[in-house]
Chains A and B, each alone.
Chain A
Amino acid sequence: MNVGSLNALIAVCLIYVIFLFGVAFAAERAAMRGKGGLLKLPLVYTLSLSVYCTAWTFYGAVGYAARSGLEYLTIYIGPSLVLFGWWWGLRKMVRIGRSQRITSIADMISSRYGKSNILAVGVTVLAVIGTTPYIALQLQSVTTSFAVFSGAPESPGTLTATALWVAAGLAVFTILFGTRNLDANERHYGVVMAIAVEAIVKLFALLAVGVFVVWGIADGPSDILNRIDNSKIANWEIQGGRWAGLIFLSAAAILCLPRMFQVMVVENENEDHLRTASWAFPAYLMIMSLFVVPIAVVGLDLLPAGANPDLFVLTLPLATGNEGLAMLSFLGGFSSATSMVIVAAIALSTMVSNHIVMPIWLSTSDGNGATISGDVRGVVLMSRRISIVVVLLLGYIYYRVSGGGTALASIGLISFTAVAQFLPVLVGGIFWRGATRLGAIAGLTVGFVLWAYCLFLPSFGPDVVLSSNLLEYGLFGFSWLRPQALFGITGLDPLIHTVFWSISLNTLAFFLVSLLSFPEPLERLQGAQFVNIFEHSSRTPTWSGGVAKSEELMVMAQRILGAREAQVLFAREAERQGLSGVLPEPNAAFLQVLERELSGSVGAATAHAMVSQIVGGASVSVQDLMAVANETAQIMEYSSQLEVKSDELERTARQLRRANEKLLQVSEQKDDFLSQVSHELRTPMTSVRAFSEILRDSEKLSEEDKRRYSGIIYNEAVRLTRLLDDLLDLNVLENGRVSLHTQEAVLKEVLDHAIETALSGSEAKLKVERSKSALILIETDLDRLGQVFINVIRNAQKYCEAESPKLSIVITEDVEQVLVDFIDNGTGIPHEAQEMIFDKFARMNPQKAGGAGLGLAICREIMQRLGGDIAYLPGQGGTAFRVTVPHRMRMAAQ
């Protein structure tokens, strides 16, 4: 080969990369227009999973097979089993990933264990350490294949230069498509499409080489089987421990590798795709591994003994002069390497920026950085770009340090073992609610220390990191601490030794510390959500937006996205729904778009919680629960308010009932009163009519009779008038229309005047005695008060049946009021009549009295008007009334 073919190779690479750019760009555009039809195919999802098959598969599997026979199959059997068993574990993981908006494996683990940032940082660091050798492996394979293809001498200088160029090119591609936009769902449509295309390229390339080998070089399958029988890998010589251990390891790896988590969980567009992938991805793996053994066997046959079996895929076509096929094969290897590096770099940069850079940045920017949306986005993107560069640089450095000499397979297995340490914590977190944060930290720490001590550090060879002395005699000279023979168990394969001890002690530490520690509230909440995900979430977290109000969403979106952007977004969505105006229907599709848009600014969880607050969420995250707790408090407050209100209503109802009873009573009283009034009026009217008839009809009446009858008529008329006067008076008083003339006077004078008036013009003798302390000043309507006094005194005069009637008036005074007691020496009023006497028309003995029985009723009305009272005073020997007069009539009495 010459410089010309090297140039051709570079040109092909560039064209291929540009083609990939085109694919990614087109996919991104389609997704932006909401048309990503191709992306919605389960096939694309399945193909994107093929990022599992890296350059290690493409080149390394053949090398592996040439060295260890069928053992390489374990690397594909493990993942096949995991995908076959999607119902058991993957289904749950993907559901959790979607409903919790998980962005990476570190996010998954930290979310499960109470959003612990320590755990996230730990997992991130470990993932970077575990992935770095793997990236180095890809750089190495691309570089060597480059060298082999171009036939350039494998001088270390050119190789490392190529590796650096490749690393830089991959960094640029990853940055361009991995961090073009910040979308908190962490979906990279362009990248997914590109790796799906690469998946086809590498499958096609390997199949092409395989077909060429089987039917071009050999004579078909039976010949291949013969060649296998005659090769050095003719017999099954695989240790049982390695066979089972590697199947376990690769099964763990497909769950735990950051890049696999990225394509399998984070980039998952639809959970149903997993079902298709559950058989289609194993099929892909099967086809990928189908021609591995034939290529290895034929390569061992044809190529010289010293040839590197890791490059048979490339060297076989070259050796037989098929440059085109070799070129295709090179592109296949290139595809495998680039897709792995791109996805791994995206996954790692997401983890680094989300869990390491952002927390630091937010804590150093005085906490006000989060409120400025544009600012945050810029920082996140920048930190991701830098992380991508750093990750690739680390891979390059590892490649330089390790010298690129180790066989591809062993590097890959070192990485697998590192990330497999996540498995206990991951699986325990999904299925066991008792798993705690401290347990997770303990398990991961134990696992990684053992991995580093037993596998990673010794892998650099004796005396590079670990001294050969230590390797041979153990740490501090303890032979049971020898890195490759822990606890004195020798003779194990170093890899299986590490896998066994690290995973089992990891699990044990995780389990024991979980048992002994107590989780924080958030941990318990998240634990319940993760473990019981199928009871908590709907199949896919879609919104049922029937109740949402577009206007409220608009208000919220404007606050976060900015007024202009929000309006544009809403108008666009409205147009898509075929509506005129700016407000779209809040259907599930729109809400998903909106939420995705928002999460770019405020983070997925926050955006989700915000939308769910307005819409009423379909799936719950911790933030939702917090919000729910908040809402619950509000509801409780509201219900307590309701309770208060209902108490109030009940009270009011009671009052109304009482008022109603009173009204009924009043109505009855009124009826009684009317009938009484009619009766009272009728008696005098009857006599007036009778005597006036006599006067009119009898002509022989003597003058004396005439005068007598006229007198009766006159008296009855007077009685009627008085009755009517009293009624009017009472009416006025009762209706409160009486106007009071307040004056100030000494009580004694009022009393004197009343006695004088009451006793004048009466023949009966009533002796009135008064207590002396009567010099009390009162302010009230004196005429009305006098009227009361007169009435009471006249009653005593009329009704006292004693031989020598006597009325004693006792005046007592206290702070607020003056009590005037009128006590005569009569027989008193029987108990049952005491309350009745104040009723209208109530008379003890109608024969004797000439009045209408309204006097005391009027008195009571007057006294109540004046702010005092009049009541019967029992137990005084005779009839006694107590008049209560306030010192100063309250204005309220008006």
Chain B
Amino acid sequence: MNWDTEFAISIIPQLLQGLVVTIQATVIGYVVALILGLAVAILRRVDYIGPVVFVVFEFIRTTPVLVQLLFVFALAPPTVAPLTIGISVLGVHYAAYTAEVYRSGIEGVAKGQWEACRALSLPPLRVWGAVVMPQAIRKVIPPLGNYLISMFKDTPYLFAITVPEMMFMAKAIGTEAFRSMEAYTLAGLFFLAVSVPSAVIIRRLERRYAAV
């Protein structure tokens, strides 16, 4: 059995439908990861709560996201949509990574900056909002961008909890038509079509922010 171009073209719309779900899950999950990760990075600096938060997210970071997905999917009441579960789990998982990025960004702000803030008696909100975060953000944009691409490439896991993303579609097509070649190859190409240009953009950003 060989490559069947006509069949390949006929399944493109279905796969693109899946790709839309994939991108949806990535974008929303990423926003969750960005916000939650920042909260985690700040909470880790708090006495008593900090170490607990660290251990919990270290556990999340070093265990497979696939197992976490299956686990939450099995526990959640059937009324919760699989896509919601998928986005939440991906978001929390990646918060463990973004928190580390924020942490290194915050620690990368020179000690003298904190001291200058104290010398000017700036209120905490200004210290964080006007001095520390603006400087930290510049350093964290490239690594955070890399995690957006990583997350995009982790969304196929959602197929394991019946979310109709691209991999789910490909598998469904394969089972139905007894042909897997075209669906999986196209899925792979679609992934490349999104992630390679994104990676190029991220590297540009990286160079631009490194230059300043």
- Say whether A and B bind each other: no
Interface residues of B (CB under 8 A from A): none
